[in-house]
Amino acid sequence: MVDSTVRGPGANYEVQRHGAEDRPTKMRSRLPPNAKARSTEFDLQRIMKTLNLLEASGWYWGSLAGGKAKALLRPKQDGTFLVRDSENSAHLFSLSVKTPRGPTSVRIQYTEDGKFRLDSDKKSDTPEFDCVVKLVNYYMTETIAGRDKHFWLEPSGRREVPVKLCRPLKGQVPALQHLCRTAIHRHTSDGEAHKLPLPAPLKRFLLDYPYKV
């Protein structure tokens, strides 16, 4: 059964990032105007935490333009993806991915409930997450399991190409400690990493980024 249809495909070469000093202003200007009553600080903390995790991942490309993302992904294998800043001032991030019909991008919405989800024509059926890395990790897990529940909504109205995230396109080499951390997560069952016989500081570092990607 199709859970949701994700708006897609249409059809730096260097990693470009905003300076840390202008992030709070940028983030505040893009918060949903109809957000449920809560402190703006809640949203800023959630978004900054997501941004820190994205920057640790190695596959966040900052302010890379959509056209350049498309050029980078065109020669890659289907399912190759990256996350970048959205060029739409109403959104924070975009997911760019190589599909069988070519590269495409989909906006990552930040909802009034303070969650992230892919832009979809069926909002109620689209999974929501408190972190963009968790969102990507979910779709990668679905891909590995062979569950085709989410499909790209093409300009023609067709819904034939499933959303598949297979491998990230890294714009920089992550720290060795981070690579070790993700390798451990890939070789342990979900939710089991905290049981490993490790010193407390190492365990905290491991659990600060509890994702396989």
pLDDT tens-digit series, residues 155-190: 777 777 889 999 999 998 899 999 999 999 999 988
Residue 9 Cα distances to 21, 26, 33, 137, 162, angstroms:
34, 27, 27, 21, 11
Chain segment 110-162, per-residue pLDDT in tens: 998 899 999 976 666 789 999 999 999 999 999 999 988 888 877 777 777 88
> Strand 80-85 relative to strand 116-118: parallel, antiparallel, unpaired?
unpaired
Tokens coding 105: 């991008």
The reported pLDDT for the residue numbered 1 is 31
- 5 pLDDT more than 70: no
Domain 4-173: state its class: alpha beta
- Could you say which of 1.10.750, 3.30.300, 2.30.29, 1.20.120 is the CATH number of the domain covering 175-213? 1.10.750
Which stretch of DSSP H or E encloses residue 29?
helix 23-29
User: What is the value of pTM for the model shown?
Assistant: 0.82
Domain ranges of the chain: 4-173, 175-213
